[in-house]
Amino acid sequence: MNEERAEMERTQRSVEVFEPLRGARLAISSPLAKGTNAADSCLRWSDGELLLIYCKEGIRPAHPRCASSSSPRSKTLLALRGRGEGVHPLQLRKLGGIVLLLDLGRIAREEGEALAEFGVDAEGLALLSRMGTTVASLDGHPELVHVLFELNGAPERGREGYLRLKVVELLRLLSHIELTGSVSRPPVRQSHRQIAYRAQGELMRDLSTPLTIEQLAEHCESSPTVLKQSFRETFGSPVYSWYRRQRMRRAAELLGDGRLGVSEVAAAVGYSNPSKFSRAFSACMGCSPSVWRARHMA
């Protein structure tokens, strides 16, 4: 009896549920702190929703089709419920990791314009949502697994913005995925890789002074066309989508520090117009710079 009780206590989990994007529900399941009560650990998986599971430890939520179609040893899982299959409860009590449910149709409708700025291919997500009932392991997709790992280890400070950024990154990768192989990306020629990394260094050298594509190409001794192609091949994202993410991450750090005003932060990441900065920041982080700063200073 004592052994059973010890095992039950060891497998009890605390489940936190977030909505980093409209149409995205994220559950993070971690060991229950001593002296606290287990919260509701059931998540409802609706038909048409894309399910992603990252199992760091414990047992994946049970589902007949998932169990029969994917190795129980797989740490990650992607599954899509076909329309008309109804709602299935996912028990997270024994999972140590994350469960992410994505309503791709709603995300495209309500977040599509903002996501396009970050290299998310709406058509790719639409194709994924039309696959019908599908189950696949993601263990062969290291980039996706790494983002799921980072979601599972989200820091307490700035968690909401961090989760939003990571879900956007995940959607970008999913929008280019081929489930029979790795994330779709053409082979990168070594000369192109060198151009891309050189461009990355030039962009990050001084965030307060943005470069045009023509200036960046000149610094990299390349043409604008080859530069853009090289960057997308290497990093899977257009130059300015990648660059905007870096600027917003840096802006979030500066706002959280609290020593600079919003206009000063805007200038530090290359925005001469604070209003344009606020719109870009809100699209990326889900709230205005002043709200972000107030939350983190609190």
Q: Is the entire prediction scored with pTM above 0.85?
A: no
In order of 23, 54, 137, 161, the CA distances from 150 in angstroms are: 20, 10, 18, 13
Q: State yes or no: pLDDT of 98 exceeds 50.
A: yes
Q: Is the same domain home to 289 and 235?
A: yes
- CATH code, 267: 1.10.10.60
The per-residue pLDDT for range 239-282, each reduced to its tens digit, is 888 888 888 888 988 888 888 899 999 999 999 999 999 988 88
Q: Is the same domain home to 11 and 129?
A: yes
Least confident piece of the model among 15-24, 84-93, 103-112, 217-226: 84-93
Measured at the CA of 131, the angle between CA 128 and CA 134, to 5 degrees, comes to: 100
DSSP assignment string, 176-234 = T--TTSSS--PPPPHHHHHHHHHHHHHHHH-TTS---HHHHHHHTTS-HHHHHHHHHHH
- Amino acid 6: pLDDT: 46
Q: Is the same domain home to 152 and 46?
A: yes
Q: Is the same domain home to 24 and 59?
A: yes
Q: Domain span at residue 284?
A: 190-297
Q: Is the same domain home to 91 and 30?
A: yes
- Amino acid 271: pLDDT: 92
Pair of tokens at residue 155: 């820091």
Q: Is the same domain home to 209 and 170?
A: no
Q: Is the same domain home to 250 and 154?
A: no
- Amino acid 21: pLDDT: 87
Q: Look over the chain and give the mean of its residue pLDDT values, rounded to a whole number.
A: 76
The answer to the question of residue 264 being in a domain is yes
Average pLDDT over residues 84-96: 69
Q: Is the same domain home to 98 and 240?
A: no
Tally of structural domains, the chain:
2
Select the highest-mean-pLDDT range: 8-17, 56-65, 102-111. Answer: 102-111
Q: State yes or no: pLDDT of 116 exceeds 80.
A: no
Least confident piece of the model among 67-76, 113-122, 163-172, 174-183: 67-76
d(CA 60, CA 97): 9
